[in-house]
Structure 1
């Protein structure tokens, strides 16, 4: 009789993966995605209300609704610090480390409201350590090519969900298409993979596949490259950037936010196969959102600074942004390489 728990010997080969150098937050609870971690935290912790910034991914708002807790909203000041939240006894506050560049905002929120009620959203700040807080949430899939993945450090409980995600194998197609160089063709599969993580099911633990993929990644290289690329972009584009970014020397940001930009600039870059994400279009489309937060979503370019970029690609990116800022037509290059 076959033993389903015995390790397989022989047969076809799996994808070859080399050894990594350690996974960030290895002792954190491992989830399918950051939203699942937040939902699990709310369901188990049962705050009276959770204070959320207006500038926030809608999946986190839906998690709070799904948990059945009260939702209060707060505005940001121009430094992206909490402006007007007023949590009471029994309330929690979600503070976002936007783009991995807002460590001071997190420190300020903890000092003002107390670590016992602040949940730190480090989804865009994978390499920021977990400091004093009720919980700190991470999203490694925003930094490296994996099909799913969220992490949470918390003092509230010590067990991740008993059931692991088993759907990640079917949602790796976009990763393989990107690896094969077919960027545009893989975008539809990428969108479907993202939609899978936004379902209304119960919180799941990180898939076995994703744990294995993460263990093979050199995260030290990822961190160093992002720090280096952000610094180069800041040196070239900082004088024309409306944002005054002064990150810590060892910060490894998600992206390089640049703005405000004129309408059509994102499309001008796309014509050159330079792809920039939107954080978050639903915010700009919501009439209830304050003007400052709406402008962040509508008028900011989030330029890549990730570990895939070469020196030539960085130069092309800088040239394209500067030309688009001046209203010059796109420069077509036969050897262009896409860098979403």
Structure 2
């Protein structure tokens, strides 16, 4: 117990979105997928090609076998079955896959890990292990939840993460914006996570998560997603509402425009987007769906910091650019 001395930052309490028994709190989503494989006693994990390579790298580092499967243009896994001693990761892409969709996909396999890194608010499925990443939805330096049968086992083997040493970027973002020294500080935190072993969620992250207004986040993201659908539906090469339902809280609006120069135009106007997982352009055939997505998708920001004005400005830049190349 400590009494007195200086006053620390304070956050509201008892707001944590996932609480109660049966929940493992870890330091990252990739660590959460590894932990899920341990709980399922699986030595091999089937990953979709279209996924961040940090998941693959972490599993390989932890001596978990990795195999891959492709997806089609409707995001269906192109794999019929997996060995009984393996697990399969099914990604809830962009946070726009509804519950019935996930239930349908998961029913086809045994030992299913739902990767909800892009879908923080998606409800856990009873017969699967669900993994959530907090950093994609809330301003925290680390943090993941793993929910499902047996997920609280083996936690005593993991050290407690400490994130305050590399969390300055969260404060600098407020005063300096997202470029320059705040971005450099963020990269230091990313490097810490990349080099880290599986650990329990840091106390700092849990304090922030415990004081977060989740109702506001859900409301704003759904409103902004609807605005984006109206703004970009006429030019988008994919349909983000394909599996969308009233419970979906999207991470981003996935916009696919077949132009190599659009992203540079957005960056030039301080609209900081980026293609996801461009490493796939060097490892997959050009006629694969994953190659096409990696080359052209722009994950338009729709999070709780923004309103219609920011999305209108983004649309203005995009349409001016497209009109200029006709």
- Stretch deviating more after TM superposition (278-287 or 150-159): 278-287
Tell me the secondary structure at the aligned position of residue 239 of structure 2: coil
1:148 and 2:148 aligned:
no
Task: Give the drift of 1:13.
Answer: 1.8
- Post-superposition Cα deviations, 1:187-217, rounded to whole Å, max 9, x if no partner, equal 1111221121112x43100000110011111
Tell me the secondary structure at the aligned position of residue 176 of structure 1: helix
Alignment match, 1:24:
17
Q: Give the Cα separation in 2 of the matches to 1:288 and 1:70.
A: 23
Tell me the secondary structure at the aligned position of residue 84 of structure 2: coil
Tell me which of 300, 304, 307 is aligned to 2:304. Answer: 307
TM-score by length of 1: 0.87
- Post-superposition Cα deviations, 1:262-287, rounded to whole Å, max 9, x if no partner, equal 11211100111101133212222324
Residue ranges of structure 1 left out of the alignment (5+ in a row):
1-5, 329-340
Alignment match, 2:190:
194
Alignment match, 1:213:
208
Alignment match, 1:9:
3
Alignment match, 2:249:
252
Question: Is 1:227–1:250's contact at 8 Å kept on the other side of the alignment?
Answer: no
Question: Is 2:143–2:201's contact at 8 Å kept on the other side of the alignment?
Answer: yes
Task: Give the drift of 1:302.
Answer: 0.5
1:319 and 2:312 aligned:
no
- Stretch deviating more after TM superposition (63-72 or 88-97): 63-72
TM-score by length of 2: 0.91
Task: Give the drift of 1:184.
Answer: 0.7
- Stretch deviating more after TM superposition (272-281 or 230-239): 272-281
Tell me which of 12, 30, 37 is aligned to 2:32. Answer: 37
Q: Name the count of aligned residue pairs.
A: 319
Q: Give the Cα separation in 1 of the matches to 2:299 and 2:234.
A: 16
Tell me which of 69, 86, 95 is aligned to 2:90. Answer: 95
Tell me the secondary structure at the aligned position of residue 183 of structure 1: coil
Tell me the secondary structure at the aligned position of residue 191 of structure 1: helix
Alignment match, 2:108:
112
Tell me the secondary structure at the aligned position of residue 13 of structure 1: coil
Question: Is 2:39–2:153's contact at 8 Å kept on the other side of the alignment?
Answer: no
Q: Give the Cα separation in 1 of the matches to 2:127 and 2:188.
A: 34
Q: Give the Cα separation in 2 of the matches to 1:198 and 1:212.
A: 22
Q: Give the Cα separation in 2 of the matches to 1:112 and 1:42.
A: 18
Tell me the secondary structure at the aligned position of residue 240 of structure 1: coil
Task: Give the drift of 1:244.
Answer: 1.0
Q: Give the Cα separation in 1 of the matches to 2:304 and 2:155.
A: 31
Please tell me the root mean square deviation across aligned C-alpha atoms, in Å.
2.1
Q: Give the Cα separation in 2 of the matches to 1:72 and 1:107.
A: 23
Tell me which of 293, 296, 299 is aligned to 1:296. Answer: 293
Tell me which of 255, 269, 273 is aligned to 1:272. Answer: 269
Question: Is 1:227–1:253's contact at 8 Å kept on the other side of the alignment?
Answer: yes
1:182 and 2:177 aligned:
yes
Alignment match, 1:203:
198
Q: Give the Cα separation in 2 of the matches to 1:150 and 1:284.
A: 28
